[in-house]
Structure 1
Amino acid sequence: MTTVVPTSEEDPALAVVRFTSELAWADAGPEAAEEQVSRLCLEAQESMVMGRWLDLASLMLTSADLMFAKVSDKDVECIFTVICNLVTKPESLDEVHEMAKLISGKIIQQPNDKPALRLKILFNLYNLLENPYSRFFVYVKALNLALSGKVTEHILPSFKKIDSFLKEWNIEIKDKRELFLGIANVLKENRSSSKDSFKFLTKYLATFSGEDAYTMGEAKEEAVRTIIEFVKAPDMFQCDLLDMPAIGQLEKDAKYALVYQLLKIFLTQRLDAYLEFQTANSTLLKSYGNNFFVVLSFSSLVHEDCITKMRLMSLVDLGSGGSGQIPYALIRDTLRISEDEVEMWVVKAITAKLMDCKMDQMNQVVIVSRCTERVFSQHQWQTLRTKLATWRGNIANVISTIQTNKVTEEASQGVQGLMTR
């Protein structure tokens, strides 16, 4: 293992060139090595004098792979600190960006070799950059490195700051797509909460609006993946996927129409519709032939889990009917369960925070005070707005009544005071 030992007041960049050159030519013999090291150092000095920082960075990175193999992690980090610091030298933002591309490209070349160290170096480079777009570029490279090198745990904390990053970067739609999809892939690899991965998948799909058919087609497989993720998730019962053009394009697609139909069943229909769908398509799915992605997606679903989720969503649908009461018998028939299981499923819905209700065992009905909406689209927003307006009016009336009573009471007390005198 080689160790970097500073021996003079030589410029750090030149010292790195000398060290890496000696490392690269160590096996060539003393005379050849000395000649090549001198040549490279002279070239580095010329680049520094002429302000050719991109050329200098390229020269310093020539033996980058060798450094990772033969130099200690601490010294590799020190060397790359000097290299990365070059991005602070140029005045041209374009040149800075080219340097960021060059350095990050070299760092991620072998993602499985010391990936955590490489990721740390990328973050150091990120912090040295002032150009927002260059920062975004390096961050995406860090995402890909974390995924390829299987060190996703090191980048997860940064996801909490994504909203502030987006404001800083001010990137275009195509860049947002790359970012959101990259984060969703990292979360999936890390086996984080399915809700977290789903959140960024929907952000990705939301960027496809008003696009031509070719561009929209890019989102098809991710749209299928998002639907399957929603159907599989045992703790997600509400989404607005049906309103998304990227999802809507699947409805009449020969390859993916069944996936769209499945989503529509989960969001707008009840258990009987799912059971009919499963029975009708179980054989068809096996005969899809080259539509491997569709078969793979469906095969990841567990039929019993789908039934469990559809029972809960069917119960929610019954509670959204508007009457405020659901007979036990209707729950039994809709969920296809025995009489003894009715209250158990109601408790499950309450535990999942899908309903607020009471069970009237004497009259064999469930009295519902609140139900979660499976689809929260424009209609639900309008209903919520109407309710809020009503509540606001009621509160205003209460405040007015209190103020009127207060004035009347104060006047009454004043009259009583005069009478006493």
Structure 2
Amino acid sequence: MSVPAFIDLPPADQAKELREYLKSIGAEIDIENKEDLYENVSEIIKSTEILWKNCDIRDIEGVINSILSLLFVIPPTNCTPLIKVLCDQLTKAAEFGKASLSMRLLHNFFHGYDIKTPFLYDTYCAWLKVAGSNGSINLVPTDLKKVNSWMDLWGSTVDQRHTLLRLMYDAQVSCGNSDDAAGTMIQLLGDYTEDNASQAREDAHRCIVRALADSNTYLYDHLLTLKPVKFLEGETIFNLLSIFTSGKLEDYQKFHSENSEYLKNIGLDHDFCLKKMRLLTLIDAVTGKNDVPFSEIQSQLQLGEDELEEFIISAIQSKLITGKIDHLNRRLVVSHTTQRTFGRHQWQLLADRLLEWRNNLNNAHSKLATIDPIQ
């Protein structure tokens, strides 16, 4: 049976058509309308769960579009409870293999109202949930600047903001968008203060573990500045983060010997961590040097001679260092290294270098000024 969207019918007739259809497919609902449109729509929405189990996609889309047309009749200020129930129903679609349809309906719903409408917060959260389960977060707008402006317009509370950012983070992680997920989590943790940092303990722990497990993430000092992460100081996870931030291979090996079960329990692979720590130790070994003997690198990384060149090539490919291998002299010629940490000392070095460049430019300008122009 194909169900039209009934949009051309008066609201009361449209509601009655919906009731009759839902009743015909087994929903527990009276076919007679309630006098109040709000109550009418509320009962209809609560009965839609049966759609996901038994109906064709075209039928579902027709019913939901009809409900949306009725919601547009009700003043937005009264709609929030109805929207929450409808969004809950739409998130159930993924359980019955209809997430793509739900994504389309939520998209239409989200763009059907003025962006200032407060209940779009619930619509957007439902959209994120479905996108995460369906691997389609790229179909949802997630630019943080834009989303922050929306939350301002919706008058979202601090707790609501945190909930939304967690949903976005989870969706991005489940869809493999690790870079976007990292940015989302940084904002989430950055929203906490010293007074409420303890409330974000779980978020901070998850952030650290996923950053350590990410094959594209090697720099961690920015995490140490976040108050919820600082709150973990003294705990095992904080000690591990500190090693990856500024420690060396031997520090990690000592940690692993004392906490091997802990690493397994939080889902970190020892061999993966070992390789990452060797890369980070290599950065320290070559920073500030023009060339480094293989023997020195081999000693610090605890690698066999037959493994060394391949590892150095891997480091260059990761862009953590820039250089080339001098095979004849068994050396690594270094032109650039990534800074593992960037604190006061690094800022001072940068300031000194910029000052040197400025002085050199001034000297060059002065010399050019003494040259007579060609007649």
**1:180 touches 1:204 (CA, 8 Å); kept in 2?**
yes
**2:322 touches 2:334 (CA, 8 Å); kept in 1?**
yes
| Superposition deviation, residue 260 in structure 1 | 1.4
Identical columns (%): 22
Distance in 2 separating the partners of 1:345 and 1:60: 63
* Per-residue Cα deviation, 1:240-269 (whole angstroms, up to 9, x for no partner): 1122221122222xxxx2221111111111
1:97 to 61, 77, 80: 80
Aligned to 2:21: 23
**2:324 touches 2:334 (CA, 8 Å); kept in 1?**
yes
Is the alpha carbon distance of 1:347 and 1:101 closer, same or farther for their aligned partners in structure 2, counting shifts above 3 Å?
same
Alignment of 1:155-304 (within 5 A): 155-170=137-152, 171-190=156-175, 192-210=176-194, 212=195, 215-239=196-220, 240-252=222-234, 257-282=235-260, 285=261, 296-297=265-266, 300-304=267-271
Distance in 2 separating the partners of 1:9 and 1:319: 73
Distance in 2 separating the partners of 1:174 and 1:396: 54
Is the alpha carbon distance of 1:308 and 1:384 closer, same or farther for their aligned partners in structure 2, counting shifts above 3 Å?
same
TM-score when normalising by structure 1: 0.75
**Helix, strand or coil at the partner of 2:95:** coil
**2:87 touches 2:122 (CA, 8 Å); kept in 1?**
no
| Superposition deviation, residue 296 in structure 1 | 2.0
| Superposition deviation, residue 396 in structure 1 | 5.8
Is the alpha carbon distance of 1:334 and 1:7 closer, same or farther for their aligned partners in structure 2, counting shifts above 3 Å?
closer
2:135 to 145, 152, 155: 152
Is the alpha carbon distance of 1:6 and 1:301 closer, same or farther for their aligned partners in structure 2, counting shifts above 3 Å?
closer
**Helix, strand or coil at the partner of 2:86:** helix
**Helix, strand or coil at the partner of 1:61:** helix
Residue type of the alignment partner of 1:374: R
| Superposition deviation, residue 197 in structure 1 | 3.2
Aligned to 1:309: 276
**1:54 touches 1:98 (CA, 8 Å); kept in 2?**
no
Distance in 2 separating the partners of 1:221 and 1:9: 50
| Superposition deviation, residue 157 in structure 1 | 2.9
Is the alpha carbon distance of 1:382 and 1:219 closer, same or farther for their aligned partners in structure 2, counting shifts above 3 Å?
farther
1:137 to 86, 100, 122: 122
Alignment of 1:66-145 (within 5 A): 66-91=50-75, 93-109=76-92, 111-113=94-96, 114-130=98-114, 131-145=116-130
Q: Does 1:318 align with 2:285?
A: yes
TM-score when normalising by structure 2: 0.83
| Superposition deviation, residue 111 in structure 1 | 4.6
Residue type of the alignment partner of 2:18: T
Residue type of the alignment partner of 2:318: A
* Per-residue Cα deviation, 1:221-250 (whole angstroms, up to 9, x for no partner): 332222222222233211311222211222
1:352 to 314, 318, 332: 318
* Per-residue Cα deviation, 1:356-378 (whole angstroms, up to 9, x for no partner): 22444565543322111122356
**Helix, strand or coil at the partner of 1:356:** strand
Q: Which stretch of the first structure deviates more once superposed, 59-68 or 368-377?
A: 59-68
Distance in 2 separating the partners of 1:6 and 1:267: 58
**1:324 touches 1:369 (CA, 8 Å); kept in 2?**
yes
**Helix, strand or coil at the partner of 1:128:** coil
Aligned to 2:341: 375
Aligned to 1:54: 38
Distance in 2 separating the partners of 1:352 and 1:362: 24
| Superposition deviation, residue 354 in structure 1 | 0.9
**Helix, strand or coil at the partner of 2:143:** helix
**Helix, strand or coil at the partner of 1:112:** helix
**1:324 touches 1:368 (CA, 8 Å); kept in 2?**
yes
| Superposition deviation, residue 19 in structure 1 | 2.0
Structure 2 segments unaligned to the other structure (5+ residues) = none
Is the alpha carbon distance of 1:27 and 1:389 closer, same or farther for their aligned partners in structure 2, counting shifts above 3 Å?
closer
Distance in 2 separating the partners of 1:15 and 1:356: 71
Is the alpha carbon distance of 1:302 and 1:95 closer, same or farther for their aligned partners in structure 2, counting shifts above 3 Å?
same
Q: Which stretch of the first structure deviates more once superposed, 351-360 or 94-103?
A: 94-103
- Flag the structure with higher helix content: 1
Q: Which stretch of the first structure deviates more once superposed, 366-375 or 336-345?
A: 336-345
Distance in 2 separating the partners of 1:5 and 1:80: 10
**2:93 touches 2:102 (CA, 8 Å); kept in 1?**
no
Distance in 1 separating the partners of 2:295 and 2:256: 25
**2:52 touches 2:93 (CA, 8 Å); kept in 1?**
no
| Superposition deviation, residue 76 in structure 1 | 2.2
